Structure 1
């Protein structure tokens, strides 16, 4: 074990994996369980592919710019429709084509398999 780890202070809650953490009370799919559960990116209207800090879902573009985005006050975040890296998009149609909470809040999209089946 690394000596630095022995002397470090950390919050054990941060060591919980994304599958075990109940960030926003996402529903378990009765057909597919939690393996394909998808979340909206906290900073834009995209599907998240990263779960960091035990609290935050990111798409790839927002993850690449996480330091700036995490420091933005909520009032400066764009309204839906929001593009990657928290860029305000023109128009009124959400790229996810769903109603969701404001940018800056965690939101489960549900089972990715079931959601994709329903789009065909």
Structure 2
């Protein structure tokens, strides 16, 4: 029977070929085992390789998302509240007022000393 099937395959006849359901009932492979082993091994290896690549990609995305969360938390910590920002702006305004008045006083004293007739006597 095997010789008839082999001859029918060579001639291209498909009537004598067994269907996949009939082969599955027998529990055997449709193709020769030496060919299937290499295919099965290659699909197992390629499947494992694909899983490893997917795992590495998932790990990279997880690390990337974690880094983004840390950066977001750092930016939130660095940014002062609205009250603190207002206090900082009031502090800057007061400092500039004090330094400005000090400069005006120094310039006034220097001008008064330079234009006075008697000057400072020691």
Under a length normalisation based on structure 1, what TM-score does the superposition of the two structures give?
Answer: 0.20
Larger gyration radius, structure 1 or structure 2: 2
With CA pairs under 8 Å and 6+ residues apart, which has the higher RCO, 1 or 2?
Answer: 1
